[in-house]
Amino acid sequence: MPSSDTQPVAQPTPVRDLRIGVYICRCGGNISDVVDVEQVAQASRHLPGVAVARIHTFMCSDPGQQAISEDIQKEKLDRVVVASCTPFLHELTFRGAVARGGLNPYLYEHVNIREQCSWAHKHDPAGATAKATRLIAAAVGKLHHVRPLDQVHLPNHRKALVIGGGIAGLKAAADLAARGIPVLLVEASDRLGGRLNDWGRVFPSEQPARDLVARLVDQVRQEARIEILLQSQLTAVTGFIGNFQATITGPLGPAGQAHTTQATVGVIIVATGFAPYVPRDGEFLYRQSPRVVTLPDFIRGLGEADPQAPSLLWQGRAVRSVAFIHCVGSRQLDGVHEPQPDGRINNYCSRVCCTTTLQQALAVKRQFPGVEVFDLHQDIRTYGRGHEDYYIQASQAGVVFFRYHGDEPPVVQVDPADPDAALRLQFKDYLTWGEELILPVDLVVLSVGMTPGNALVGDGDHSLAQMLKIPTGEDRFYQEIHPKLRPVEVSVNGVLLAGAAQGPMNIQEALSAAGAAAAKASAMFVKDDVELHPFIAAVDPELCEGTGQCLTQCEYEGALQLVEQEIAGQTVRRAQVNPGLCVGCGACAAVCPHRAINVNGWTVDQYDAMVDGLVADLAQPAAVA
């Protein structure tokens, strides 16, 4: 098991030996318009150990960071508090400033007085100011109990596993190989390229989809650094960033047994894509009438149609009119739409359906000008560059648009007296102020949305999400840490997302996300070892009695183990932390009866000191134990 460079928490430094700098940000008025930062600074100067308390308009700016670095040297500071915006934005920024001043970057504490004070209590400036003061007092109290920490260093296997051979997986694999990184590309089907193989033309370039796929596939197949496993799935994975052990199960061999491949990789990129929504039996008469089809089926059928044919045929029948219904399986409403098998509805927008629908409506009018084309939508959301042109061109080509409300979806009916007659669409059109219409059509195309492509591997206990510990959002797609700050990372170190695995995307977006995942993975291979933050559990073997209570609360398999150790000539069992798997959640520390296990940077003693700082009488300097 790899070991970390961190040690059990030492005894607190005496107050008289500390010189703490407190830096308060105005945030351009975001904070100072509500919080009296001068009053906060004045109160901070009376806190135990505080030698400097300064205010800056933008603490995160280069001059603000430089002020911290210079004060560390000139004022001989050995602890730093920054009170500004959320640490999610600038914690790393200020750690860097502290380090440039020559101080260990983990002797710094961040206090959020924007989101938690000025923004939360903008109608109570006095209360926001008092809260900011006490939060800083808590941080100062904690700093009396911190000690220098070092990052965890783990071995790094320079190879990537890419799960999924669609366009995102192909792009990620090609980019990694171009940077000299070996790649194992695993695809569950018998071909590369994913759903684009069955597409007609891509928007807005109108390039044949198969040409795009062919170029990517050729690029990947010609790259010696990429190993491709088709008809294969990830069936087991252990380990951690830099050192994942993956088991990939392939197709049955001549002996009737499935082929198994073992691989050690440093990074895993999940590019499992999406699956089109499949309407329920009877939803808009789907599967009850052969003249009700999904948009993917229509695209395939239109692509196979004879371009010289005088009229559009569907299953041998002439089509004189076709209606597209938007938002089937997307933007669903509680109480209106039937829940999915997990009890939830698809209340999200699938984003690409509008443009795709308009593209196909326009294709029908161009190829078969005599066919009447109707478009029934809630809204037209052609958000991408050049996408609105499809709406304009479709309108000019004669496509007729109707607008329905989501709580009043169209009803598709068959004439019981004449099943071969045209289908009847009944709906209220809110482009004509709610007029009730009945529209006869020969073909209904359901513009189905996107659903997650993270299908189960085996039974429900072996899904990809569970194997890799990837969180999912309310929409069931994989959940990134932050859509702007960390858009392709998940909460599991070393696991990245590419393409529509994390949500509905068009082709350009999927390729961009795949490129971002490849760039992030490449950055992880710059060094021979992996550097992780030190905020993980640490065991004091002198206090630990090996009760195992910490293991019962740990949700991260392998993060804690009981091992035999030699202490004072005796063999004893003690808890041991795997730094690659521990996430520093603190569940173990909460149940240890002897306080033998703590989270570095967030020990029980530090929490005690923070509570003391929150409730102390700030009129007098608080004593520190």
- pLDDT tens digits for range 313-326: 998 899 999 999 99
2 or 251, which is more confident: 251
Q: What pLDDT is stored for residue 8 in this prediction?
A: 45
Poorest-pLDDT segment among 330-344, 355-369, 410-424: 410-424
Q: What is the pTM of this model?
A: 0.81
Distance CA 477, CA 484 (A): 17
The fold of 1-151 is: Rossmann fold (3.40.50)
Delimit the domains of the chain by residue range. Answer: 1-151, 160-273+453-526, 278-450
The fold of 278-450 is: FAD/NAD(P)-binding domain (3.50.50)
Asked if the domains at 160-273+453-526 and 278-450 fall in one CATH topology, the answer is yes
Task: Please determine, for residue 181, whether its predicted confidence score (pLDDT) is greater than 90.
Answer: yes
The DSSP element (H or E) to which 424 belongs, if any, is strand 423-429
C-alpha pair distances (Å), 136 with each of 21, 140, 600: 11, 6, 20
Q: Summarize pLDDT for 402-442 with one digit per residue, the tens.
A: 999 999 999 999 987 777 788 999 999 999 999 999 999 99
Rg, Å, the chain Cα set:
30
Distance CA 542, CA 617 (A): 36
Distance CA 103, CA 77 (A): 8
Poorest-pLDDT segment among 7-16, 184-193, 425-434: 7-16
Distance CA 480, CA 491 (A): 7
C-alpha pair distances (Å), 278 with each of 281, 309, 335, 472: 9, 30, 20, 21
Q: What pLDDT is stored for residue 15 in this prediction?
A: 46
Task: Please determine, for residue 84, whether its predicted confidence score (pLDDT) is greater than 60.
Answer: yes
Q: Summarize pLDDT for 389-398 with one digit per residue, the tens.
A: 999 999 999 9
Task: Please determine, for residue 341, whether its predicted confidence score (pLDDT) is greater than 90.
Answer: no
Distance CA 610, CA 619 (A): 17
Query: What's the start-to-end Cα distance of the chain, in Å?
Result: 37
Q: What pLDDT is stored for residue 5 in this prediction?
A: 41
Structure tokens belonging to residue 312: 């559009």
Q: Summarize pLDDT for 130-160 with one digit per residue, the tens.
A: 999 999 999 999 999 999 999 999 999 999 9
Across-strand partners of 402? 376
Distance CA 17, CA 69 (A): 20
Distance CA 401, CA 521 (A): 46
Whether the upstream peptide bond of residue 204 has omega within 30° of 0, thus cis, is yes
Mean pLDDT to the nearest integer, 182-208: 91
C-alpha pair distances (Å), 370 with each of 321, 322, 365, 411: 9, 11, 7, 25
pLDDT band at 17 (very low <50, low <70, confident <90, very high): confident
Mean pLDDT, the chain, integer: 91
Class of the CATH domain delimited by 160-273+453-526? alpha beta
Task: Please determine, for residue 371, whether its predicted confidence score (pLDDT) is greater than 80.
Answer: yes
